Structure 1
Amino acid sequence: MIKIANYQLWVHDQDAALEFYTGKLGFEVRSDVTMPEMGDFRWLTVGPAGQPDLNIVLMAIPGEPVMDAGTARETLSLVTKGFAGTVFLVTEDLDASYKELTARGVEFSEEPTEYPYGLDSAFRDPSGNNFRLTQPYAMP
């Protein structure tokens, strides 16, 4: 059986991302390792409590030789605009989760709204990555 273990998000600043994901979303740090032998490359992962087999890699946008300057600028631009993909989160109680996250400082771009599939809302992380927080009518 194939399972998803890690999902990578590009972030502008790993420390700011770490604060957002742990302090505001309540995620756990799974690993935070800096490797001097690889130019101080930092492997930083977080994940939701209660879901230990899924990690989100908070990856700094690299420079040479991994990415040329033009690609790095394009990646930064796409992330900032929220067009580098969307992470879909589910909750059993969107109203309670919305209130809790708002109290922690998460700024929603879309308040909870009813759709045919359930209640849905949206926010972005400090780098611009897009998130949907949904309470589906039939939880997966």
Structure 2
Amino acid sequence: MLVDANVLLYAQDDSSPHHPAALRWLVDALNGDVRIGLPWPSLLAFVRIRTNPRAYARPLAPDAAWQQVSDWLAAPAAWLPTPTERHAAVLTGLARRYQIGGKAVTDAHLAALAIEHGVGVCSADTDFARFEELRWVNPLASAR
């Protein structure tokens, strides 16, 4: 399972109404028996957004955000997925099939990465439902 940035953001932001469900899912997953992929695009988006004073009234200091990333990567089930030699073909195939552009490009990249590694994506973003080839889990929906 690969983790999208929104799950990381909700799990870390205790002011979010989604915090309890996202944190519970992430802690359980990172300490479970199945490897959990933390792709660099998700980790970088977490740092970029969570340290931005325009996005948060109380942004994290950069050192705190990077420490959080280090802590997640040190978890027993954490794994840093990398693109395989098939990545370009899988990604462009998804982009063409679903006419992907704009903000959806990163979603397509995560979907391609997951497909290459035979895993799903964990995200609160319902846009992942468009990818028929992908197993998508919304940890917030399962908490309702």
More relative contact order, 1 or 2 (CA 8 Å, 6+ apart): 2
TM-score normalised by the chain length of structure 2: 0.30
**Bigger share in strand:** 1
**Bigger share in helix:** 2
